Amino acid sequence: MVLSWFRNRRRRRICAQPFPEPWQEVLDRDVEHYRRLGVEEQSKLRDDLRVLVAEKTWTGIDDLVVTDEMKVNVAAQASLLLLGFEHDYFSRTSEIILHPRSYKAALRYRQGAVIVESSPHHLGQAYYRGPVVLSWTAARASGRDEDDGRNVVLHEFAHKLDMADDLSDGTPVLHSRAAYRDWVKVMSLAFNELRDRTDRGRATLLDKYGASNEAEFFACATECFFEKPRRLRERHPDLYDVLRQFYRQDPEVRMERRVEGA
């Protein structure tokens, strides 16, 4: 409890500082999702990303020097997932590792241990109780393109949310038996449909990589939820609804608000 008190006090001090102008420029220039948010959501995202920047260890690989610009960019995208939650900050992730570009990983996929994307050249990994590893090139591109249905940062940090219950099974921590019941029913149907359409070579809204297993399905569904909310709600309304309830966010409303203000 004492450690928690000191941690929360430190976080309050971090968030009480003026938000650095160069960081704001990164958000305005390179994080398209930031522009969709309302004023209160933008404020929370700025606070959350400041905590992630301060509390995580940031490591560059292959002589990559990790700059504040890189930290802010990645932390801002990851913080999008946290807007509906209070004081989580991906607590089981202590380090974020950046490669300059796609890379070859030494470890292959192992259920419950590590999630590896895009073999043989990887864009990201999420380790159970370990770091998140990202290609900086891919992460930056994800921030600039908000509606292509692909976002490696959202994908990997969705895996981290999934792992919060010590499993990597596509079911994150929920808060009622009814929520688990609805989640399993909806996600199972949607996963099986994606797998069937993938096997048949038919077009899919969700990334076909999500047909690999339930963990990948959740991560790919998360990408689609934030990147293509309108199309996801139209094609898979039940899937959209369980994700909306889990994340406590409604990205389609943001999209409509942006269109009205255009």
- C-alpha neighbours within 13 Å on the C-beta side of residue 217: 24
Q: Which amino acid is at 170?
A: G
In angstroms, the CA 181 to CA 183 distance is: 5
- Give domain status of residue 82, yes or no: no
pLDDT, tens digit (0-9, with 9 covering 90-100), for 143-158: 998 778 899 999 999 9
Res 118: pLDDT? 47
* Structural domain that includes position 257: 169-261
The CB-side HSE value for 198 (13 A sphere, CA atoms) comes to 16
In the predicted model, is pLDDT for residue 26 greater than 60?
A: yes
Residue by residue, DSSP assigns 28-57 as HHH-HHHHHS-HHHHHHHHHHHHHHHHHSE
Q: How far is C-alpha 38 from the chain's CA centre?
A: 19
Contacts of residue 196, Cβ cutoff 8 Å, sequence gap at least 6: none
3-state class (DSSP) for residue 57 = strand
For residue 219, give the DSSP letter.
H
Tally of domains within the chain = 1
- Has residue 240 been placed in a domain? yes
In this prediction the pTM is 0.91
> In a 3-state reduction of DSSP, which class is residue 132?
strand
Give the type of residue at 92: R
pLDDT digits (tens, 9 = 90+) for 54-109: 999 999 999 999 999 999 999 999 999 999 998 789 999 999 999 998 877 654 44
What CATH code is carried by the domain that includes residue 234?
3.40.390.10
Residue 207 lies in a domain: yes
Cα(151)–Cα(228) distance, integer angstroms: 11
Buried b (16+ CB within 10 A) or exposed e, 20-45: eeebeebbeebbbbbebbeeebbebb
Task: Work out whether strand 57-60 and strand 95-99 pair parallel, antiparallel, or are unpaired.
Answer: parallel
Q: What is the pLDDT of residues 200-242, one digit of tens each?
A: 999 999 999 999 999 999 999 999 999 999 999 999 999 999 9
Indicate whether 111 belongs to any domain. no
